[in-house]
Amino acid sequence: MTYPILKLNPGRERRLQAGHLWIFSNEIDNVATPLKSFQAGQVVQVISARDQALGLATLNPHCLLCARILTRDAKEIINVDFFVKRITQALNLRESFYSQPFYRLIYSEGDYLSGLIVDRYDQTLVVQMNTAGMQAQSDNIIEALKTALKPTRIILRNDSSYRLVEGLPQENSIVFGDDQDIFIEENDTQFSAPALDGQKTAWFYDHRANRAEFIKWVKGKRVLDVYSYLGGWGLEAAKHGAKEVICVDRSKIALEFLEKNATLNGVKVKTKLGDAFKLLQDLADAQEKFDIVIVDPPAFIKSKKEINQGIKGYEKLNRLAMKLIKPQGLLVSASCSLHLSREELLNVIQSAAQQNHGVAQVVYQGAQAYDHPVHPAISETSYLKAFFVRLGR
């Protein structure tokens, strides 16, 4: 099978040859291969200005990031078999270190399928297609997932903001199976999540390793879990011996599920509904103190232009959290903001400690779990930061 040619301007092949997967619209030779001649989602063969074959890519002519390499083999055919091969490679990686079928199965560029996310919850698969290229391959992807894993349910969570950039509708649906709650198991703790109404793809597997480390610290402690969602930090603390756990979230649905999950695990937690900043201030005004406070917020920084304002938000959040921690207590501070570096978050923590007239000791540094492999040429695939910080005077 032959695919239409997409030709690059002179010298624009270097980043691809270094391993990157992205091509931008200003790198295209619009005279030889005008972008307006292509359809969104189309598979193309990418060649250099010297007619060197660079691989196959999906294309969206309406985006600045207009093409994403699928394979370096220009002779490959993009069909069900291609996706079965990639999915099987990803599955083999996960099965090498997870004994139970709960993990992120496909992590976009990290698994060389740019724009595709698949989370596995035993026999339920939750799929997110964030690009026109992956959307155009949806039938092949679904068929490949059925072939490789034989799931009993596939859910589409195509409601991310990335789809708006790609000119795609935001919509959730069930490909097949029922709409019952999703069951999750992590670090010997069980959770249920709404099939269609939960955040993102229902769960946040990326902090799994950090939470596994965290449960070593919780026995007999009073714990505050801010931005708790379904209780990934708080419930795992309660399950592993915390004396008291309070979970804070602004989503009523999330807290309702968290309370159900507490019952599922035979533990008790308290919940507080509301804005994290206000509730933290209210707890400080009431002179509440905790042994451990977790602040794991959604991304405060969505683009580079938001960095300065976002850093102020992280600093305020960490400063408020520190006010609630007993001497020699533990702060767990995390960020999923791509545009906030590990060093910047550490500076935020240090600044917050100084403003509270305290000192900080970093006792653990964490990143995303093994099922979120980092593409070495794409820094954007490494985004998660977590610090466990012991606080003193």
* Whether residue 362 is found in the same domain as residue 259: yes
Strand locations in 212-274 (E): 222-226, 244-249, 270-273
Q: For the chain, how big is the Rg over CA atoms in Å?
A: 23
* Whether residue 99 is found in the same domain as residue 211: no
Q: Is there a catalytic annotation at residue 63?
A: no
Selected catalytic residue, list 63, 66, 247, 336 = 336
Write out the residue range of the structural domain in which residue 265 sits.
185-392
Q: What is the pTM of this model?
A: 0.95
Mean pLDDT of all residues in the chain? 96
Give pLDDT, residue 272. 97
How many structural domains compose the chain? 3
For the stretch 104-116, pLDDT in tens is 999 999 999 999 9
* Whether residue 258 is found in the same domain as residue 360: yes
* Whether residue 386 is found in the same domain as residue 267: yes
Name the amino acid, one letter, at 32. A
- Which residue among 180, 197, 216 closes a domain? 180
* Whether residue 300 is found in the same domain as residue 268: yes
Across residues 114-127, what is the average pLDDT?
A: 98
* Whether residue 244 is found in the same domain as residue 311: yes
For the stretch 187-241, pLDDT in tens is 999 999 998 888 888 899 999 999 999 999 999 999 999 999 999 999 999 999 9
Q: How far is CA 57 from CA 7, 35, 174, in A?
A: 12, 14, 28
- Which residue among 71, 91, 118 closes a domain? 71
- Which residue among 119, 149, 180 closes a domain? 180
Distance CA(45)–CA(74), nearest Å, equals 6
Give pLDDT, residue 168. 96
* Whether residue 191 is found in the same domain as residue 328: yes
CATH number, domain with residue 173: 3.30.750.80
